[in-house]
Amino acid sequence: MARMHARSKGVSGSKKPVKKTVPGWIRYKPREVELLIGKIAKEGKSPSQVGLHLRDTYGIPDVKTLTGKKITKILKEKNLLTEVPEDLRSLIKKSALIRKHMAENKQDNTALLGLQLTESKIKRLVKYYKISGRLPISWKYDPSKSSTYLE
């Protein structure tokens, strides 16, 4: 698949195994994994950081094959999911950093283009999350208040 704002195709990378079975060497039960996810999320980690922590510390390669649910669904059941989704939060953070850079370097047109592309990605994601019900319909992204979304 091609990149969104570039004319190149994506680079190849590692893929998950096609066979969706639980490896025999995992000693954790699905309930234990859900409790671990809740414990790690209470430490302030995002869903992707929870997955990395489970992989690196506990040796759990894929939560969905073990529990049958994604990490975000488990966090939603435990009411530990943040209001702003993780991918949208990272784009807002990137936008805030570019705005800070633009305040210091007013002639940087490349950064201005990057800001415009990032803002358009944010608008598309907000539209998607409103349709899917992840964000309330009244939620509005305001670039001047981007630091409030990051808390």
Co-location of 49 and 92 in the same domain: no
Q: Residue 131 sits in which domain range?
A: 86-149
The answer on 34 and 70 residing in a single domain is yes
Q: Is position 144 within any domain?
A: yes
Answer yes or no: do 102 and 51 share one domain. no
Crossing angle of the two packed helices 86-104 and 109-132, in degrees rounded to 10 = 160
Residue 135 lies in a domain: yes
Q: Are 96 and 122 within one domain?
A: yes
What gap in Å lies between CA 10 and CA 23, rounded to an integer?
Answer: 30
Banded pLDDT at 108 (limits 50, 70, 90) = very high
One domain for residues 62 and 93: no
Residue 4 is assigned to a structural domain of this protein: no
Q: Any idea what the CATH number is for the domain that residue 92 is in?
A: 1.10.287.10
Cα gap 113→48, rounded to integer Å:
28
Give the confidence band of 2 by pLDDT, cuts at 50, 70, 90.
Answer: low
Is residue 7 assigned to a domain?
Answer: no
Read off the pLDDT band of 20 (50, 70, 90): confident
Q: Within a domain: residue 114?
A: yes
**Tens digits of per-residue pLDDT, 39-90?**
999 999 999 999 999 999 999 999 999 999 999 999 999 999 988 999 999 9
User: Into how many domains does the chain fold?
Assistant: 2
Give 3-state DSSP helix, strand, coil % of the chain, rounded to 5: 60, 0, 40
Residues 116 and 110: their CA atoms lie apart, in Å, by: 10
